[in-house]
Structure 1
Amino acid sequence: MNLSFGVKLLIFAICFLFSIIVGIVAGLVLHKPLTPKGPAFLYGGGVFGGTLTLCLVVLSTLGIL
């Protein structure tokens, strides 16, 4: 697929923001009220990285990026 650079950048921004939302939700689900916040941050960051990687791999495989 022959998309312009601006459209590819917009698709990347959508993937990035989607990954941030998924990471935040995963961190919130893991965190319990009386426990430290550090493990929840690390877990959310790992989920963010995994989600962004998965989104970019899928879009690259489809030929969009």
Structure 2
Amino acid sequence: MKTTPTFGVKVLLVVICALVSSIVATGAGILTHTTGASLPEAILSAGGAFAISMTLGLTTLAVLGLG
């Protein structure tokens, strides 16, 4: 018996992916800035980390049939 998640559950899963991606981006930005990079470089690094982790999270949800 296979059940599909409701719209509300799907929204919550996307929000969880966004929050986890924000944590990853914050860590990447802090680590980049502590290595001596300038603030704009750290922000760009954090943005890239957010985009990659959000893409991986949403792709994982889609493969599992939850998205």
Extract structure 1 runs of 4+ deviating beyond 4 A: none
TM-score by length of 1: 0.92
Unaligned runs of 5+ in 1: none
Q: What is the distance in 2 between the residues matched to 1:28 and 1:55? A: 22
Tell me by how many angstroms 1:25 deviates.
0.4
Change (3 A) 1:30 1:53: same
- The equivalent residue for 2:10 is 8
Give the gaps of 5 or more residues in structure 2: none
Cα deviation per residue 1:12-60 (whole Å; 9 max; x = unaligned)?
Answer: 0000000000000011011038652000000000000000000000110
Superposed CA RMSD: 1.5
Query: What TM-score results when the alignment is normalised by the length of structure 2?
Result: 0.89
Q: Percent identity?
A: 38
Q: Tell me the matched-pair count.
A: 65
